[in-house]
Amino acid sequence: MSLKFSLLLPSDYINDATKLINQAKTRVSLITMVIADDSSTSAIVQALIDAANRGVKVEVAADIFTYLELGGILLPTKYRSRQSRLTTQMSKNLINNGIKFTWLGRSHTTLISGRTHIKWCIVDDTIYSFGGVNLYQEGISNNDYMLKTTNQQLADDLVSEYQRLAVADAGSYAYRSHSLEVGGDEILIDGGLFGDSIIYRRACQLTAQASKVTLVSQYCPTGKLNLLLKRTKAKLYFNPPERAEGMNRFVIQAGMLLTGNHSLYKKKQYLHAKFMLFEMKDGTKVALTGSHNFVNAGVLLGTREIALQTKNPLIIKQLEDFLANSIA
């Protein structure tokens, strides 16, 4: 039986997760690329602390890319911007309140290789994931979403994946991408191995088999996927360069220059959602949604990612509605 998912916009996700964490009985497992304690996240940060003080097992992991994103540098022991200092104080506060907090990616020598791009929040047996929402003001203001479902097996599997990821990061090694099957859906996980992405491979395979494809991403698609998209009827929605700044703008401009692609995205809000909708030759529909931006650079640089592949018409309908209301 397929799992029942609901699509939550960023602020709804934060509010819903905060409420559930305040009611948590046994565990909270949270992983994100960027985290900060600001006006948009203070309630969820306090909920994590309160849960730990009630005896709930709480573990939080975030990538040290947080410091670059917030205007600081990549060493949490250093200080530069006010946001960076507040983030360091937040991590110390979480640890002092009994939360197992981990900065991921300390051992990587470049700014973009080996980043943990996964986002999920597990509260008891409820999972929020398969979207792109980062836990800071800008991340919550982006055009994005998370999916919510409740399933003990999936929650257990992802908590085990969290432990595997944390051990690998501490040991400065990666592992092969792989998949999990739950409720008729397939969960795809990239373990950070350079050049290995089951999510990107699956996007290519589905594109090659599809008659129509819609791609939504932060960035312009590149690599083999781009070549396959050019051979089918595809609609591409990604940020035009003027929506982005700094490195993001450069990545988008470079992608457009290399591929010749143009975006159909016209909204003013920065696009951070990442999903693909496939209409197969027999008329069936498939969706791929998660943290992966569908660019080849992420594959080569070994980013850790998660995605959901599904034929569930209820999930696909929610993604189509999000496309119609927020993207197209």
Using DSSP, state whether 8 is helix, strand or coil: strand
pTM score, whole prediction = 0.95
Percent of the chain as helix, strand, coil, to the nearest 5: 40, 25, 35
DSSP state of 33: S
Instruction: Report how far residue 116's alpha carbon sits from residue 100's, in angstroms, rounded to the nearest whole number.
Output: 17
Strand 285-290 versus strand 275-280 pairing type: antiparallel
Q: 198, 304 in Cβ contact below 8 A?
A: no
pLDDT of residue 247: 87
Q: Please report where in the chains the tokens 């592949």 appear, as a residue.
A: 309
CB 31 within 8 A of CB 169: no
Name the residue among 292, 293, 294 with its Cα closest to residue 306. 292
Is residue 84 within 8 Å of residue 71, measured between CB atoms?
yes
Q: To which residue do tokens 């990616």 refer?
A: 105
pLDDT (0 to 100) of residue 109: 53
Q: Which residues, in sequence order, are bridge partners of residue 101?
A: 60
In tens digits, the chain (328 residues) has pLDDT values of 678 999 999 999 999 999 999 999 999 999 999 999 999 999 999 999 999 999 999 999 999 999 888 875 545 545 467 777 888 899 999 999 999 999 999 876 556 678 999 999 999 999 999 999 999 999 999 999 999 999 999 999 999 999 999 999 999 999 999 999 998 899 999 999 999 999 999 999 999 999 999 999 999 999 999 999 999 999 999 999 999 988 899 999 999 999 999 999 999 999 999 999 999 999 999 999 999 999 998 899 899 999 999 999 999 999 999 999 999 9
Side-chain-side CA neighbours of residue 296 (13 Å): 12
Pairing label, strands 146-150, 126-129: antiparallel
Reported for 102-106, long-range contacts at CB under 8 A and 24+ positions apart, including other chains, are: 102/59, 102/60, 102/61, 102/62, 102/166, 102/169, 103/61, 103/62, 103/63, 103/64, 103/76, 104/61, 104/62, 104/63, 104/64, 104/165, 104/166, 104/169, 105/63, 105/64, 105/65, 105/169, 106/64
- In order of their start, the domains of the chain are 6-170 (3.30.870.10), 178-327 (3.30.870.10)
Short-list 218, 300, 226, 301, CA closest to 258: 226
Count of CB atoms situated within 10 Å of the CB of 176:
11
Q: What is the number of residues in the chain?
A: 328
Check: CB of residue 127 under 8 Å from CB of residue 120: yes
- Token couple for 21: 């964490």
